[in-house]
Amino acid sequence: MLRTRFAIAALLGVTLAAVAGGQDRAFTLNFKDKDGKPAPFYQEMSTEVTQHIKVQGQDLPQQQKSTFWYQWTPVKEEKVKEGTEEVTKWTLKQKIEGLKMNIDISGNPINYDSRTTDPSGSAGNPGLIEFFKNLKDSEFTVTLGKNYKVEKVEGKDEFVKKLGTGSTQMENLLKKVMTDEALKEMTDPTYKLLPDAPKKKGDKWEKKTNLNLGPIGSYELTYKFTYAEPDKEGANKDFEKLEVETVINYTAPKELTEGLLFRIKEGSKLTSDPAGSKGVVYYDAKNQRIDEATLTNVRIVQHDAVEVLESMVAPASLAAIHVFFPDPWHKKRHHKRRLIQAPFVRLLASRLAPGATLHCATDWLPYAEQMLEVLGAEPTLVNAAGDGFAPRPPSRPLTKFEQRGLDRGHGVRDLVFTRRG
């Protein structure tokens, strides 16, 4: 059985612009920020696979969970004529910012997480761990044409050389697997999510693709979409709703390939389990972004903030950081314990993308004054309010600590700083 669950979370800025035309809605990608300038965006893709493999008569069940984090950077927008139609083409840089792999082969775990060093199980297969390490920071240049179809992918030779690590057999395998068409499928930033024409409620459509991985076999993927009625209640009731089912059929390779690390001699035609391949995409038309797609884009980490930022967050990768009502540590001898100190602010600023926002709030005036001084002294930040405190943004929620301060008669101060470009 092959069970695959597909998930994509559009992080920090990839948006879908929905334009209503009568009862139809057109979905288009927007690679620009609110000022109309090209802006990076981030994606997360998680996959779970269960396989039953027989090697030389021995059963080797394998379970694999993988997560990849991608950064996409728009490089060029170009208007071209194709016949009588003007088409917008985009050139994007795709970078693998990080990855997490959890593999179990007959009870033998192999674990890798690019955000940590020497995770449990990483010593089980040093060659495979080295392969995962080389995946991180790999880059491709992708050209998108009409309907965001991938027309060209550059960077294949460098990618194969990097992963081959001097092994002729590995390089030969990668060259057979990483065909041009396979690369186009793997670097598609839309993941077949967007319809090619406007849709109305109740419409159904499919997208099919074939992924031939040479000596590994081929995959036929079918994405089935339904533009459903929105939820009647709950947190997602105000969002547009797309139901998605992914059907995957695997076929073993028909021809043997010499000179590789292995050969798949025979295999059954396998089909994904429909129960594990269904998802829902919630689209926020008002704010023009995907709110949720199978997996939410919210991550809760209960850990030291300094270590999280240092080890789990890439530099210049965040669109905003919110620090609301941290402990003021009222006594003078405890001021050194306050969160907003120069070294921590320097770390926060390093994780913000150019133009991104650092928003702090407190109900303790002496702490607010210290925050203003420390933030103002950081050379990479600029005060969005000029010299003083900012008016309270309407988007900031009321927290229990804020309400407690208001009940005690405290004034609340907001501080909003942006990262210099």
Please give the Cα distance from 194 to 189 (Å, whole number): 10
CB burial of residue 43 (10 Å; 0-12, 13-18, 19+): buried
Instruction: Give the N- to C-terminal CA distance of the chain in Å, as an integer.
Output: 50
Active site includes 238?
Answer: no
Helix (H) or strand (E) segment spanning residue 375: helix 365-377
Cβ neighbours of residue 258 closer than 8 Å, sequence gap 6 or more: none
Please give the Cα distance from 96 to 158 (Å, whole number): 14
Cβ neighbours of residue 107 closer than 8 Å, sequence gap 6 or more: none
**Taking the CA atoms of the chain, what radius of gyration do you get in angstroms?**
25
Q: Would you give the DSSP letter of residue 75?
A: E
What number of other Cβ atoms are within 10 A of residue 392's Cβ? 14
Q: Would you give the DSSP letter of residue 380?
A: T
Please give the Cα distance from 421 to 407 (Å, whole number): 40
What number of other Cβ atoms are within 10 A of residue 76's Cβ? 11
Nearest in space to 178 (alpha carbons), one of 152, 208, 157, 149: 157
| Pairing mode of beta strands 218-228, 204-212 | antiparallel
Please give the Cα distance from 126 to 230 (Å, whole number): 48
Q: Check 137, 196, 238, 327 and give the catalytic one.
A: 327
Active site residues: 327
